[in-house]
Structure 1
Amino acid sequence: MSSYTHVIVGLDLSSESKQIMEKAKFLAESSNAKLSVAHIIEPLLFTYGGDIPMDISSIQDQIHTQAKIDLQKIGDEFGIEQENQHISIGQPATELHELAAKEKADLIIVGSHGRHGLSLILGSTSNSVLHGSHCDVLAVRVNQG
């Protein structure tokens, strides 16, 4: 079995991100692979369906600015250069697939919360990433709590 050459980690920048990054860094170092991180911001118009009768672009800009700060902290902690830190706006699975193709990544790592019941039926980001990917996908089970 060949080792990976470029690993992209999709993070939601929650408190569980560090758990995911620790496993991703170990795997990337074991394979001597390049390690990149990505955060996808879902547009507020997707979230609220355009039902907000106001200009929300400044809020979206604030979300982007904070995400950039948070992603840079993670990058600094795990030794990931700025050019390997990616933020985009869109649907997370689609954006991760496009980034993986553009960067020629051969593994995408995402966190999984192990949802049950209705959440499982409706799907999750990790499930969406898995089913549309052209490279390997690893879902890291995060410990909540």
Structure 2
Amino acid sequence: MSQYSHILLAADFNQESEDVSARAAALKDTFSATLSIIHVLEPISIAYGGEFPVDLGDLHKELEKQAESQLKELGAQLGVPPERQYLEVGITEKEILRVGKEKHVDLIVMGSHGRHGLALLLGSTANAVLHHAEIDVLAVRIKKSK
């Protein structure tokens, strides 16, 4: 196995994703690597409710505020300073890959739900990142809550 120097944890803040964060932290320690965290918010645009448009800008601002808070909390837990915590808005897999490339990451760690059937055909973020990344990707299986 090669030596990793910069690991990017793609965090989605689900309860089940603690295993993913723990795996990224363990790899950081194993390789004495730098750890960064990214969380991506999908954009919320204007929705149309009947005849009148509904502006969801306030909802997006609230979601962004919550995500920022969760990112800071996870960063504190993992010892990741604010300058390596990235909150991006866009298409999740594209933003993960973009930030990974810009920050010279050599390993992306993210969760995978292991979907089957129709959900697999429709694709997943982990699958998209895995197939388009030019670096290693570790997809950590997320176990379903009971």
TM-score, structure 2 length as denominator?
0.92
In structure 1, give the amino acid aligned to 2:26.
Answer: F
Residue correspondence of structure 1 range 121-140 to structure 2 within 5 A: 121-140=121-140
Q: Which residue of 2 aligns with 1:61?
A: 61
Q: Which residue of 2 aligns with 1:13?
A: 13
Would you say 1:28 and 2:31 are equivalent positions? no
Q: Which residue of 1 aligns with 2:92?
A: 92
How big is the shift at 1:2?
Answer: 2.8
DSSP 3-state at the match of 2:15: coil
Structure 1 residue ranges (4+ consecutive) displaced by more than 4 angstroms after TM superposition: none
How big is the shift at 1:67?
Answer: 0.1
Q: Which residue of 1 aligns with 2:83?
A: 83
How big is the shift at 1:13?
Answer: 1.0
Identity in percent: 37
DSSP 3-state at the match of 2:30: helix
Alignment deviations for residues 70-98 of structure 1 (CA, whole Å, 9 cap, x no partner): 11111111111111111000001100111
> Structure 1 regions of 5+ residues with no counterpart?
none
Distance 1:17 1:57 in 2: 28
In structure 2, give the amino acid aligned to 1:25.
Answer: A
Distance 1:144 1:71 in 2: 22
Residue correspondence of structure 1 range 82-121 to structure 2 within 5 A: 82-121=82-121
CA RMSD, 1 decimal: 1.1
Contact 2:47–2:56 (Cα < 8 Å) also in 1: no
Whose radius of gyration is greater, 1 or 2?
Answer: 2
DSSP 3-state at the match of 1:38: strand
How big is the shift at 1:131?
Answer: 1.2
In structure 2, give the amino acid aligned to 1:134.
Answer: E
Q: Which residue of 1 aligns with 2:38?
A: 38
In structure 1, give the amino acid aligned to 2:119.
Answer: S
In structure 1, give the amino acid aligned to 2:117.
Answer: G
